[in-house]
Structures are given as structure tokens and as C-alpha cells.
Amino acid sequence: MEDTTAVFGAWPGDADVAVALTFDVDGEAAWLGEGPEYGRRLTLLSQARFGPGRGLGRILDLLAELDIPGTFYVPGHTADHHPEAVAAIVAAGHEIGHHGYLHRGTDGLDAGSQRAELEEGLAALGRHGIRPAGYRSPGWELSPETLAMLAGLGFSYDSSLMADDRPYWQASGTAPLLELPGHWSLCDWPYFGWTPYHGGLLAGPAAVEPIWLEEYESARQDRRAITYTMHPEAIGRGYLLRMLRRVITGMLSRGRPWFATHAQIAALANPPAVRIA
Ligand SMILES: [Zn+2]
């Protein structure tokens, strides 16, 4: 049972909404984790490499220009094979979270393999001096076994579940874990992440921009936190980066948003009001 009583009080600076811009830097891991046959698909892998190689830089430039912090969920494989990407994220002062090692879906793995994905991901980020406090399951499918391991491995929050559009407390083993929920409608991948093997809708930005801004207005009305989830491989394309800029400037022109990392939001959470189980 989740505790959905008020997790947060007022936001800093009299803000009326907390906005987390999050980016999953999947790189080639998103495909290699699907199976070894993807290792031969050079075009697909090159499309994936666009994320850390090109899209990420555009995102970092935009965030720097607007002075906004981001949260980057990075698979261990990406950290091992694109060290310059991790270094650039860290140098800009953004947060890095855990996103598996080879981006393998937790629901398809036995408990031992799930633990290995978590531990290998921690080791890879550790080689960059990073100890992540947050976790997001690859492909947004969180299994009971991985959920139960997270608190014990030192994580204090997760961003994989969707039972509420407000942050809530979730049990992880015998300890509480703060859930910072996202949603597919606030993710770029279902709209823009088309490949020959995993088709997205290929929606135009004109269709998505009002959805993201309307949900922002709803979050303002509720004075809640809101998480947007993006992928450098998708949102880092030129025309979509322009959409992201319009979304952010649209937010800045309406209300008083507090742009924050997941760690900054989690740091303000009140402890669970009731025992969670
Ligand atoms: Zn991912």
C-alpha cells in the first residue's frame, strides 16, 4: 500500500510547481540489452549513438543557457562507453541517476540477474565517482524483485511507477522509497522514438507541446511536482530541441516554476506519515 498523504509542503521561493526535466541517456545499451543480435545492426546502433554523441550536447547547451538543472538517468554501459558524456553532465552540475547496466528490462530477468544489473550499474557509475541516489527502471517496467532491492542498495527514490501524479512513498523491502512518478504522455519516446523495430507514433511537436504545457498547468493548479522524461536520441533532434525550448519558455512565462533535479525535490520530502507496507 502506498502512502499518498501530502509528501511535500511549500516549494522554495514561493514556487507554485516543481518541474523535473529528466533525460535517459540510453545510448546503444537500449538495443544491446534486447539481445546480442542487435550488435550487428549498425544503423540502429548509430541512431542510438546520436543520443550521447550529439543530442546530449544540445540539451546541455539549452539547460546552461536557461540556467536549469537536469536529472540524467545513465545505464552503466553508457557510462563505460561514453565517458565524455558522463563527464559533461557532471561538469555542468546536473544529477546522474541509475538506469540499469545494459538497460535490460527487469521483468524479464531472474532475481540474480536483476541484482547484477543494479550492482554493475553502480560499479560503472562508481568508476566516475558517482553514487546515485535515484533509480529509473529501463524501459519503465519495474519488477517486485528490483523494487525490493533498491533501498537496501542505498537508493532513496525511484522514478519508475505511475500510481499517482504526485510523489508518494512506496515500500522497498522493509524501507520506504520515495516515488517520483513519470508517465508515458510526458515522455518523448512514445511520440518521437520511432525505429523499424519499435514503432512510435511519429507525432509532430505541434501535437505534443500543448499536452506537456497543459499538464504543467494542471501541476501548477495542484501545486505538485511534475516529471518530464526525455531521451537525447529523440528530443536531441534539432526540431524537437526547438520544441523543448518553447515548452520551457512557456513554463517560465506562466506561474512560478521551480526547476529542480530529482535529488533536490527528494530532499524536501516529509517522511511517510503512516507505516507503508
Ligand atoms: Zn531507458
Q: Tens digit of pLDDT for each residue in 28-72?
A: 999 999 899 999 999 999 999 999 999 999 999 999 999 999 999
Contact 255, 220 (CB under 8 A): yes
Q: What is the pLDDT of residue 5?
A: 55
Could you tell me the pLDDT band of residue 259, with boundaries at 50, 70 and 90?
Answer: very high
Question: Which three cell numbers mark 85?
Answer: 558524456
The Å distance, Cα 25 to ligand 1 centre, comes to 7
128 pLDDT exceeds 80? Answer: yes
Q: What is the pLDDT of residue 179?
A: 98
Report the distance separating Cα 232 and Cα 222, nearest Å: 29
The Å distance, Cα 257 to ligand 1 centre, comes to 26
pLDDT in tens, 154-168: 999 999 999 999 999
CB-based neighbours (< 5 A) of ligand 1, an ion: 24, 26
Contact 28, 45 (CB under 8 A): yes
**pTM, full prediction:** 0.96
User: In the chain, what is the greatest distance between 2 CA atoms, to the nearest angstrom?
Assistant: 52
The Å distance, Cα 108 to ligand 1 centre, comes to 15
Could you tell me the pLDDT band of residue 198, with boundaries at 50, 70 and 90?
Answer: low
233 pLDDT exceeds 90? Answer: yes
The Å distance, Cα 119 to ligand 1 centre, comes to 17
Q: What is residue 255's DSSP assignment?
A: S
The Å distance, Cα 139 to ligand 1 centre, comes to 5
Percent of the chain with pLDDT over 90: 90
- Give the list of residues 6+ apart from residue 220 with CB closer than 8 angstroms, or none: 16, 17, 254, 255, 257
Question: Which three cell numbers mark 109?
Answer: 530477468
3 pLDDT exceeds 60? Answer: no
Taking each continuous run of H as one helix and of E as one strand, the counts in the chain are: 12, 9
The candidate with the shortest Cα–Cα distance to 181, out of 166, 171, 195, is 166
Contact 83, 91 (CB under 8 A): no
Query: Average pLDDT of 95-107?
Result: 96
67: number of Cβ within 10 Å: 7
The Å distance, Cα 202 to ligand 1 centre, comes to 18
82 pLDDT exceeds 60? Answer: yes
3-state SS class at 239: helix
Contact 12, 258 (CB under 8 A): yes
234 pLDDT exceeds 70? Answer: yes
2 pLDDT exceeds 80? Answer: no
199 pLDDT exceeds 90? Answer: no
pLDDT in tens, 88-100: 999 999 999 999 9
Which H or E run contains 215?
Answer: helix 205-222
| Strand pairing category for 134-135 and 17-24 | unpaired
Q: What is the pLDDT of residue 197?
A: 64
| Greater model confidence, 202 or 239 | 239
Q: What is the pLDDT of residue 203?
A: 78
The Å distance, Cα 275 to ligand 1 centre, comes to 32
The Å distance, Cα 133 to ligand 1 centre, comes to 17
